[in-house]
A and B are shown apart, each in its own frame.
Chain A
Amino acid sequence: MQHLKPRLMVVVLLFVAVLGISTFWLQDQYLLLGILLVLISTVPFFIRFEAGKQNAREMVLISMLAAIAAAGRVLFAALPNVKPTSFVVIMTGLAFGPEAGFMVGAVAAIVSNMFFGQGPWTPWQMFSWGLMGLTAGLLQKKSRLEKRLGLMAFGLVWGFIFGWIMDVWYVIGFIHPLTWETVLGGFAASFYFDLVHGLSNAFFLGLLSNSWLKVLQRIKLKYGLLER
């Protein structure tokens, strides 16, 4: 835990600095403020990853999983609301823990956007997919998400959380005035897409999680990976 403290301090200081600048100088620049804050909140994970001692196997494993998540997005490009990336990210979190889950989610977002086009949405996707993998790993540690129903509910809920985080950049940047009604309106406009995303997550997790976990856990056991 004491390793967390300096990183946390850095992030808290950056948050305060950005909020200060935005209060005193850049009023009403919500999109810029949002992008900065989202990027800053991913900083501790990247610092931790840079400081950690991964061996070559773990590095290649993480990048291969992220590549599979990104390539899945390309494979499913014809079915835009079915996001296999989310499934792969959740599976990684479950099998290899929260840190690997975060890295795979964040890297998959950057790399898949190298094929789809980067934009103001990239940091938000990094954040949401990273958080998805992180929470999957954390919940697995705490309460065993092995019960299929719990896992499916987790996927369904994340479909909506992901959609709402992705609504935020559009709503805060380009919808004025920013009131509760307009924000809820933005969420309502994406309701159908979020529902399809959530349902497809639940569908995949219910149907395929066992066979995927078997594959990942076998690899983990065979090569003794990421066991700390």
Chain B
Amino acid sequence: MDRGFSSVHPAVCFTYYIFIILFAMLLFHPVYLLLSIAAQAAFLLLHGRGRARGKSWVFFGLMGLAVLLINPLINHRGSTILFYLFDNPITLEATVYGAMLMLSLLDVLAVFACYQQVVDNHKFMYLFSSFLPKTAFLLMMCMRFVPLLLGRMKQISVVQKTRGLDMTSGPVKKRSRDGMQILHILITWSLEEALQTADSMKARGYGVTKRSCYWDYKMGREDRVLLAAILVLAAVTAAGSYLGYGTLAVYPTLGAVSFEPASLAFYGAFCLLLLIPIFVEGKEILLWRS
């Protein structure tokens, strides 16, 4: 059962994450980036997903580190020279720029992780089945086939192990050849069977009328209110970005992070936008605890 932000209408969640992903790429400013990363991290922790995909986060961390280091090493623009490395000036500006690039990369990846947590594959299908019905149907079938095929692969590998076909040991060349052999057995098994499925579908009237959807979501009053709030806050943030508040001037001299009233207002609007999922979740937790 969905709860919290996941129980909001999928169109609202989808719109929300489209904006957040756009802003993660558009806004190049430490305050915005740090706020967004903090909000995504808090959301993931709230969902107990802090440790999920730990391995890929190590990889993403290394990617971010590479971005952080590459920029000051290859880029010598900027007016404040920190030190010289092999006669190449390392500037403060390039270092800060590299750090912001790293934040931006991590932010994009964190937003995708949250997106996946909220808009799961069923909701994605629900949204797309209305204007790309065939493609959505194709994807839906394909999604169902993958676990089926993985189960079959397991069966095939257990049987084939008895005649020495084993993907888990040996040199890479042997393992990949054995893996392809398993795929070959799988394809002969599954294609034939898939066509029987198709005939059975046809017999039950596939393609006779418009397809309906198993999951149905109704847009309620709360969903509309949330959608309106998201649109207004996103419009304010976009206006801020258009007016130049969303980008920190780095070259030729590092600009200061501004805390004048106008920029504070734009930070605030973005902060409210970021807090929407946490607000929805928090409200639910409070209501159920008290």
Q: Report A's interface with B, CB cutoff 8 A.
A: 25-26, 29, 31-32, 46, 49-50, 54-57, 59-68, 70-72, 74-76, 78-79, 82, 84, 87-88, 103, 107-108, 110-112, 114-115, 117-120, 170, 173-177, 181-182, 185, 200, 203-204, 207-208, 211-212, 215-216, 219, 223
Q: Give the distance in Å from the alpha carbon of A126 to the alpha carbon of B207 in the complex.
A: 27
- B236 interfacial by beta-carbon distance below 8 Å: no
| Candidates B105, B116, B121, B207; contact of A117 at CB < 8 Å | B116
CB distance A63 to B195 under 8 Å? no
User: Given that A46-B132, A56-B198, A117-B56 are contacting pairs, would A211 and B75 also be in contact in the complex, using a CB cutoff of 8 Å?
Assistant: no
| Candidates A32, A84, A107, A174; contact of B139 at CB < 8 Å | A107
CB distance from B184 to the nearest CB of A (A): 7
- B149 interfacial by beta-carbon distance below 8 Å: yes
| Candidates A56, A103, A114; contact of B202 at CB < 8 Å | A56
Can you name 6 A-B pairs with beta carbons within 8 Å? A56-B207, A57-B195, A63-B142, A118-B115, A175-B101, A176-B101
Which residues of the partner chain B approach A176 to less than 8 Å between Cβ atoms? 71, 75, 97, 101
User: Given that A50-B132, A60-B194 are contacting pairs, would A110 and B146 also be in contact in the complex, using a CB cutoff of 8 Å?
Assistant: no
Which residues of B from 156 to 193 have beta carbons under 8 Å from A?
A: 167, 172-173, 175-177, 179-180, 182-184, 186-188, 190-192
User: Given that A63-B145, A64-B191, A67-B145 are contacting pairs, would A200 and B184 also be in contact in the complex, using a CB cutoff of 8 Å?
Assistant: no
CB distance B105 to A174 under 8 Å? yes
Q: Give the distance in Å from the alpha carbon of A87 to the alpha carbon of B108 in the complex.
A: 31
Which residues of the partner chain B approach A54 to less than 8 Å between Cβ atoms? 134
CB distance B195 to A61 under 8 Å? yes
- B262 interfacial by beta-carbon distance below 8 Å: no
Interface string of B45-78 (1 = CB under 8 A from A): 0000000010010000001000100110011010
Which residues of the partner chain B approach A181 to less than 8 Å between Cβ atoms? 74
CB distance B150 to A111 under 8 Å? no
Which residues of the partner chain B approach A111 to less than 8 Å between Cβ atoms? 139, 142-143, 146
CB distance from A167 to the nearest CB of B (A): 12
| Candidates A29, A31, A57, A72; contact of B183 at CB < 8 Å | A72
Main secondary structure on A side of the interface with B: helix
CB distance B74 to A182 under 8 Å? yes
Task: Taking A57-B202, A82-B172 as given, write out 12 further A-B residue pairs in contact, using a Cβ cutoff of 8 Å, ordered by the A residue number.
Answer: A46-B135, A49-B134, A59-B141, A75-B153, A76-B179, A84-B180, A107-B138, A115-B146, A119-B109, A175-B71, A204-B176, A215-B187
Which residues of the partner chain B approach A62 to less than 8 Å between Cβ atoms? 138
CB distance from A34 to the nearest CB of B (A): 10
CB distance B138 to A103 under 8 Å? yes
How many cross-chain pairs have Cβ atoms below 8 Å apart between A and B?
A: 179
- B25 interfacial by beta-carbon distance below 8 Å: yes
Count B-side interface residues using an 8 Å CB cutoff.
Answer: 67
Which residues of the partner chain A approach B138 to less than 8 Å between Cβ atoms? 59, 62-63, 66, 103, 107
CB distance B195 to A223 under 8 Å? yes
CB distance B199 to A67 under 8 Å? no
Interface string of B22-53 (1 = CB under 8 A from A): 10011000000000000000000000000001
- B253 interfacial by beta-carbon distance below 8 Å: no
| Candidates B26, B74, B188, B197; contact of A60 at CB < 8 Å | B197
Q: Give the distance in Å from the alpha carbon of A91 to the alpha carbon of B102 in the complex.
A: 39
Which residues of the partner chain A approach B177 to less than 8 Å between Cβ atoms? 207
Q: Give the distance in Å from the alpha carbon of A80 to the alpha carbon of B289 in the complex.
A: 46
Closest A-chain residue to B154, C-beta based? A75
- B279 interfacial by beta-carbon distance below 8 Å: no
Closest A-chain residue to B67, C-beta based? A174
